[in-house]
Structure 1
Amino acid sequence: MTKISSIDECQASLSDWKVPTPPSFVHEPNPDKIYFVVEQSGPAHNTSESSKVNLKERRFICRATGYPNVNYRWLKNKRDFNLDNPLLSGRVTRIPGEGSFILSRLSIDDEGVYRCIAENGNGTAVDKEIHFIRTYMNLLRITQETLPVDFGEPFSRECEPATSVPKARAYWILMSGQNAERRNFQTINSTNVAINDQGTIFFQYVREEDNIPGFYYTCTSENVELKDYKFGYQFNFNVIRNPALRDSLKPYILPGSQYYSPKEMTVLKGESLELFCIVSGYPDYIPYWSKKDGQLDYSRISWNTNFNKSMKIDNVSFSDAGVYSCKFPNNDRMDKDFTVTVKAAPYWVSLPQNVNVSEHSNVDFNCNAAGDPDLTYEFYKNGQRIYNDDVKYIFVSRRLLIHDVVKGERGEGDNAVYQCRAYNEYGSLWANFYLNIQSFAPVILKGPGVVEAVEGQDAVFSCKAFGSPKPGIMWSSSIYLGEGSDRLHMQDQLDDDYIGRLTFVNVTKKMQGIFSCELENIYNRTKSDGELIVR
């Protein structure tokens, strides 16, 4: 049995060894947009800010690690935003130990672009921008109308949504009753009815069953941030019988175009694509969907309640680009093709990584993002833009190369937090990554100690160290085992965990003695002794 104990007087604890590091954000990313409602808005009859979620106080998150301790500050619209400003008294709640805060009793003046800065003597990290936006939705006046429509005729009506931030989604439902407490709702679920992506309702042909006693087709606006709905224009039908049709529809009514999606459409990767082919006539003209030179992935396709008159593809990928067709059996003049192009807002392939190096190294940061169209890249140092000079800073597409790095104080050296911005017409990305230049003489964190082994066993000494540049390691002994002894295996360099090992194979009592590990780099050298005892 091998027994190990420590007698090294030079040992240091990892917890006692504080390595200076630049700030590095560790919080979950804030949303690009944070919506809020004000405590008091305009006249109640004009604007609604009622919400089923609490948007009257909002949290801004900022948390970073670094040594020495990190200091935080905030910008609003690129100017200092002092959380201790007396004008904010009673409205700001700080989160202890962080740069995070909660802002309450909100007003329109709080709108703006916010940004957190985390800094210490080793660099400045700049978080991405947060757009703080007031959300609201204007009230609508509910008006009702009964429309005379010939039996069997096509019909359509647009839904004008309420003025809203963000833009309200418009659609139709069936609703009865003007009193909010007595309203009843039904979804529209008829084979002869479809609603397009603009909120227009289409009847391929009007039947008497489309007039539902007590209910009105109701234009509805939804603000997804407020989780609120507003109701506007309502209609129902007075279906007029055409004597020529007698008691029923003709065997068929020739099809006519009501709504098609544009022939050419562009959709972003990761978003949804919805194509429409809505045709009037009787019986129901229901299209068959296909993709030329490809297969439809039905696991990502939904038909909503439009009975195949629309096809929605979720989570679009580049492979979804191509030509799609809607075809109507025996009515090829109504067939349509749609050419779909897939573009992409910037997205990360891999984030640039923090780097710890010694002076006079060369560093290569990779801001590995992708998008379509191709991305443009910008680089920053401590939040200030830097430019390609072909000497110190060299930009190669998405890579930042820094040559012969040197350490300096408060931004004078290359040790800093760097930022990358990657953008195209559909969006942008922002990332922080630091260059930490470490210049440390070797320190032994755990020496070889005393190793006890039974004769015939193997014994291993280990020496854990720290230093920058990484120290070289040498082993020495008070005994002589002979040149090229195959009973002694020495590591000539520290591994990735900064540990070096000396292994004795099949120990004998002649191997007892003092063994030393010696660490050296350009700044200094240090040594720690260990002892092998063979029983």
Structure 2
Amino acid sequence: MLLFANSRLLLSLLFLCLSLSATGSLSVRVIASPSSLDENESFSLSCFVHSIRGQKVAIAWTKDGEPVKIDGQRVAQTRPEFVYVRDARSSDSGTYKCAATAGSTTKFGAVQVTVRGIATIRSVTAHMSAIVGDLARLECEGKNLRDVAWYHKWASIGKSSKYQIVSTNFRSMLIIADVKLTDSGLYQCRSGFSATATVQLTVKMPVLPRITLHPRDISSAKGTRVELFCRAIGHPPVKIYWVKKHGQRELYIPNNGSLTFSAVSDRNTGIYQCIAENGRGSARSAYATVTVENTVKEVAEVTVRSTAKKSSSVVLTCDFGTSRQNGVTRWYKDGKLLTIDNTKYALPYYSGGAALLIQDVRCTDDGTYNCSFFIGHRLDRFCKRRLVVEV
């Protein structure tokens, strides 16, 4: 009796399977290979249809709701269920659907395809330098960056306590901690297989600052231009500061390290020192004394009427009580050093001191003229002359 019941159960299952085969439903599955790729690469689309044996199935392809254009060249179709796309473009990205129709029944299968633009890459700075023990940051940037990898002397760099890589789709940074001399060399930043940028890293030992040019004592008349010079070397590059003895830091000089007073006054009198720093140490120069002399200035006015004649001229003189041949004379107009070219300005001989010849006098020659007489680097005499040009 039991054997008979089991036989009836098996017959029922067999009948159910045969019924499903005869009336089975339509199913569709779509595969893209690969589904993510770069421009100029190729991909294929496959539509797998399960239907009743012997039943005719019509297949149609669409991309984002529009029929796929089969041109037989770049986009080819060997069979209705297979589509092959070569030299892929960014415009080929989208949702591809395969519509399978059997009788009055239509089923769909879909797949997403992403075609990435061609990656372009360049180094932000082609040459970098670092100091032993510092943190170095190397950067590359571009478009459509992906799967960015860094290499040092052709060896791949992985994330570790020494290396850290931070990347986006347009920039990648390699951070190197505790830089050593062995970290010098060529680094490569690669996106995929084709886009590569290089950065040359030079690692140097730190060099403590050293003063190479010390300032010198200077004595000058009030109102004249005074400049103290200081030079220093070191690595990293040094920054130069100036201090006044028994005072606070006076000035930070970002360029050549010189301390300049455009018009020196009594408050500038004092003892100065320059300090060179670079984060690794510091160096101090010798002291330099600035003395401001209150020299008596003789003031005289010379009135010259401006005419149209080119030959009009005037001579300004300063009586120093000694010949200018014993020193160097400099003339200034309204604080600006004059260029003696023997055309507009000349220095005629004057036994009592210094003289300035101004030729072809014009209205623009009106102003205050200063004469400074130097012996060596020391200002020995100073005088002022006022020239009034009347029209």
What is the TM-score when the length of structure 1 is the normalising length? 0.30
Higher relative contact order, chain-length normalized (CA < 8 Å, sep 6+): 1
Which structure features the higher share of strand residues?
2
Task: State the structure with more CA Rg.
Answer: 2
